[in-house]
Amino acid sequence: MVRYPAKAARALAFLKAPLNDISVFVEDTSRAEVWVAIIRKHLPPGREIRSVTPLGGRKAVLDACRNDQGQGPPRIYIIDGDFDHVLQRRPPPLKHLHRLGVYSQENLYIRRDSIEGIAAVFRPDEDPTEVGERFEEYLSGVWSPVLRRLFALYACNEKLGGGNVTSSFHIERLREPGRVPPQPSPNKLREQALNVFRDLKRRHGTRAVLNCLSTTRPVAKSLPDASVISGKTYLLPVTRHWIQSEMGVSLPEAQTSLLLIGQCRGALDERLKRKIERALS
C-alpha cells in the first residue's frame, strides 16, 4: 500500500471523491483491504468506499487532520487507541478525527460473535454458541490476566519513556514452543517484564516506576481487553492459531481478519458509525 505525505491529505480527499463516498485516512501502511472492509461495516445503505489512504503513523494522521479543519468532501481521520485508554489520555479536539475505542483496528473484530459465525460455517456439527464460549474462556482464562499485567507495564514505558521494545514485541516470542493453541510461557513473560522494568528503573528510578504502575494496573484491570492489549501483535496472532487448531481453518493474517470482519454482526464501532453518518449527512 502506497504511503502518502500528510500534506497531501486534503488534496487526496478531493481527488478520491468520485471513487469514495467518504475519504478515510489511517495510520497503517499495509492491509488496505482490511480497512475497507471495516469501513463498509459502518456505511449507510447505498454508500460505498473502494480505498483508504495510509499516512504512515499516528503523528502523520494527526498532522494531516490539523491541516484539514475546513469544509470539503466527507472525510475522517482515524487513529488507534494505543495506550491512551490505560493512560486516560484524551484525543485532540480536532474536526474529522476519530480515535478508536480499542487499542488497534484488529481489536474491533476479535469478538465472540465473529468466532460463532466462523463456527457456523466450518463446524456445522457443533453449537456455535459453545464454540464462542470456548474461545472466550481461552482468551480470558489463559492470556488476558498475564497480558493485562504486561501492558500495564508497557503503558508506563510509554508514559515515562523507555528503551525496550514493548507492544511490537511479538507474542510468538512469549509462548511455549509447540503448544497448540498457543499457551503463555511464564519464564518468557517474566523475562520480558523484567527487561522493561529494569530499563525504566535505571532511567527514572524505582519510585517513579512503581508510582506509574499503581495507576496503570487498576485501570488496565478495569477496561476491556480490547482497550488494553494490542490486537495486531498479541490478540490477533493468538486468535488465528486458535481458529486453526479448533476449526481447521488456516489462513494468512489478512484473510483471517477479513473472515472475522465478515462474520461480525452489526457495526464494529458504534461511535465510528455515528461519525461517518454525520460526515455523510
pLDDT digit string, tens, across residues 171-195? 999 999 989 899 999 999 999 999 9
3-state secondary structure of 192: helix
Question: In which band, very low, low, confident or very high, does the pLDDT at 114 lie, cut at 50, 70 and 90?
Answer: very high
Count CA atoms closer than 13 A to 97's CA, side-chain side: 23
Cα separation, 103 vs 111, whole angstroms: 14
Answer yes or no: is 100 within a domain. Answer: yes
Does residue 154 sit in the same domain as residue 204? yes
Does residue 77 sit in the same domain as residue 116? no
Give the tens place of pLDDT for each residue, 259-277: 999 999 999 999 999 999 9
Backbone angles phi, psi at 180, to 5 degrees: -130, 125
Does residue 91 sit in the same domain as residue 131? no
Answer yes or no: is 1 within a domain. Answer: no
Does residue 178 sit in the same domain as residue 247? yes
Does residue 100 sit in the same domain as residue 116? no
Residues 6+ apart with CB under 8 A from 162: 156, 196, 199, 200, 203
What's residue 71's pLDDT?
86
Does residue 34 sit in the same domain as residue 99? yes
Q: Is the pLDDT of residue 2 over 60?
A: no
C-alpha cell read off for 167 = 507492544
**Residue that is written with C-alpha cell 472475522 in the block:** 260
Domain of residue 165, residue span:
112-263
CA dihedral 112, 267, 235, 194 (to 10 degrees): -120
Does residue 172 sit in the same domain as residue 91? no
Residues 133-159 have a mean pLDDT of 96
3-state secondary structure of 231: helix
Burial of 112 (0-12, 13-18, 19+ CB in 10 A): middle
Provide the number of structural domains found in the chain: 2
Work out the angle between the directed axes of helices 236-247 and 112-122 (0-180°, nearest 10): 30
Does residue 69 sit in the same domain as residue 147? no
Does residue 98 sit in the same domain as residue 122? no
Does residue 272 sit in the same domain as residue 213? no
Does residue 72 sit in the same domain as residue 128? no
Question: In which band, very low, low, confident or very high, does the pLDDT at 29 lie, cut at 50, 70 and 90?
Answer: confident
Answer yes or no: is 16 within a domain. Answer: yes
Answer yes or no: is 130 within a domain. Answer: yes
Question: In which band, very low, low, confident or very high, does the pLDDT at 163 lie, cut at 50, 70 and 90?
Answer: confident
Give the tens place of pLDDT for each residue, 220-232: 999 999 999 999 9
- Considering only CA atoms, which of 39, 41, 105, 103 is closest in space to residue 74? 39
Answer yes or no: is 41 within a domain. Answer: yes
Cα separation, 235 vs 175, whole angstroms: 12
Does residue 248 sit in the same domain as residue 134? yes
Answer yes or no: is 64 within a domain. Answer: yes
What's residue 130's pLDDT?
97
